[in-house]
Chain A
Amino acid sequence: MRFDHKRMASIAIMAAVLLAIPLFATGYQRSLLNLYLLWIILAVSFDILRGNTGYVNLAHAAVFGWSSYFFAILVKNGYNIFASMVTATLLSLALAIGVGAPFFRTRGAYYTIITLGFSLLSYSLAYSLDWVTGGWEGISVGLGDMHLPAFYGLFTVTAAAIITSHLIARSRLGLALRTMRENEEAAEALGLDTYSLKLKSLTISSIFPALAGPLYVLYNSYVNPDTVFGLRTIFAPATMALFGGSGTVAGPIIGAIIITTLFEILFTTQLPIRLTIIGVILMIVGLVMPRGLVGIVPRMRRRTLVSRGLGVSKPRLDYLPQR
């Protein structure tokens, strides 16, 4: 990658402005900012797996959920906050890899459905293990106002996720993953170890939700099954990434910002038909713009995005025979 002073300077100024905003914000605005960062992390890291390998991992948000729960349980039992954070992150990452690895014996829609199954199991486990998780009441941890530290933590993780996604797209690993995405048998014939490639990308993509969980509990100071394992949460990273445009760096970020804004409007105004509105939007995304917002930008414009390094060029499969 060329080193572009002008671009670096503009990124640095943007980052400085973003870092300064919460200092002047109210409590609600701070939690809203944190919410945006959280969803950007989940959408971008979800797309590290989906955008490069094509595997739709609906257990992605569950890793975040378990990480939140582990942290809340540890803190509730009086452990040091920092130590709990590290432990919760490592535990949930181990869970993601340990449970996620056997799922790679399935492919395509089967993988999507099995990972959905894991998320649903997580939901019912969080309900039934009520002596540790508090059942439907959840766990509240009294940590005081931690919005600012959580913001800087989430900001760091967001930046790391975006940079990782950007670097992977340009690395040999990314090239190998995309080869595998287009044709797994052909990739194996070329000598690529597809199983270890999948595990590598699953690990990289799961680090970020595992890190985000404790930070979420830090500012929200409350966790319950519906907020971290509810269907809305399970489907959100996928919806955001695919709405914005999967397989690009910018797409999931745009998707996360738009959908979080929409959810915030719908659920704070308490509209009676809010589920219908979400349903209609989901249907439009799926039926009309399957390539997401970035996908409907005309091809010429996309080429400029690619040359500026904002999007990764993505080979289209339209020429393949339609079944």
Chain B
Amino acid sequence: MLSPAALLELTLAGLLLGGIYSLLSIGLTITFGVARILNLAHGEFMMLSALGVYLFFQFKGGAFNPFSSLAILAPLFFVSGYLFEKFLVRPLRSKPVEVREWTPLLVTLGVALIIEDLAFITVPREFGVSYSLPPTKVFGLTLSTTRLTSLALVTGLALGLHLFLRKTFTGKAIRATIQDREGALTMGINVNRISAITFAVGVSLAAAAGAFLIMIRGIDAYVGLPITAKAVAIVILGGMGSILGSLLGALILGISEVYVSFYSPAWSFTVAWAILILILLVRPQGLLGKRAERI
């Protein structure tokens, strides 16, 4: 049986993993929400950011720790998300209704394959960052400071995003566009600009998730599509386009994955998917989703 200390350790790890998943899947859900296009290359941005952090750490390890390299990389990802929307997603949205349901999947899958291939040519092996701060001792328990810092930063990012979406005009415009694109358009919102900003924010969130993930586990160039699959699962679980639902789904998945893999690593993914399918059979629209509608 688990000792209280191990239980705390596991819960902490589960919360951190859930937090990382939530950054990733909130990014995916807001981009899906505004554009109604599922971006299968979403996880690739996470992989690229992890790769960037790794390269910084490998060659400039003395000058940059993973947190500061994330601060340098984030603006780059913000710009690439903006350009991604402008040159790839926008042309896809202008396709006839009958083909709009599947062409985005093909195109974004194509982008994902290209990115994976190029990343594999750059670093053709599993890579990781062995970075840790001296451990913290609280009430006689030893906890990893790196994880606590990561968890604090993830929570901060999620709160910052929440405030951005609730309080700023751009944030409100993003939520309006998610609710009803035409409605937002008639209210004078520049939906194209909002879409581009949303993709920039979503891709930056994926990049942040990558920087935190590389500190807790090693990854390789082909991690993108499986992690996108996981993010898709979380987004469906929470309800498409629902931000709070994604957060909830990510925490459920992250914590259950950590607990299950403590007993049997092979089952962690399956249990997550089984939870997903069971919830969907009861609530096809997801935990907090609205009634499914035609796009």
Contacts and interface: CB of A to CB of B under 8 A. Distances in A.
Interface stretch (A75-83, A150-158, A280-288): A280-288
A124 B269 contact: yes
B96 A290 contact: yes
A125 B109 CA distance: 23
Interface stretch (A99-107, A212-220, A301-309): A99-107
A135 B266 contact: yes
Interface string A235-249: 100110010000000
A278 B110 contact: yes
Interface string A171-188: 000000000000010000
A320 interface: yes
Nearest to B280: A114
The contact size tier of chain A is 35 or more
A19 to B, nearest CB: 35
Contacts of B121: 272-273
Which secondary structure characterizes the binding site on chain B?
Answer: helix
Nearest to B225: A231
Contact of A121 (B94, B98, B105, B277): B277
Given A121-B273, A239-B106, A317 B266 contact: no
Contact of B97 (A110, A276, A320): A320
Interface in A76-101: 99
Contact of B270 (A128, A184, A272, A276): A128
Interface residues of B, number: 53
B269 A279 contact: no
A274 B114 CA distance: 9
B269 A107 contact: no
A108 interface: yes
B266 A112 contact: no
B99 A290 contact: yes
B229 A120 contact: yes
Contacts of B274: 121
B92 A280 contact: no
Contacts of A291: 99
B126 interface: no
A117 B277 contact: yes
A54 interface: yes
A242 B106 contact: yes
Interface in B187-245: 225, 229, 232-233, 236, 240
Contacts of A114: 236, 280, 284
Contact of A107 (B36, B104, B281, B294): B294
Interface of B: 36-38, 91-99, 101-107, 109-114, 116-118, 121, 181-182, 225, 229, 232-233, 236, 240, 266-267, 269-270, 273-274, 276-277, 280-281, 284-285, 292-295
Interface of A: 54, 56, 99, 102-103, 105-110, 112-114, 116-118, 120-121, 124-125, 127-130, 135, 184, 231, 235, 238-239, 242, 272-276, 278-283, 285-287, 290-291, 316-318, 320, 322-323
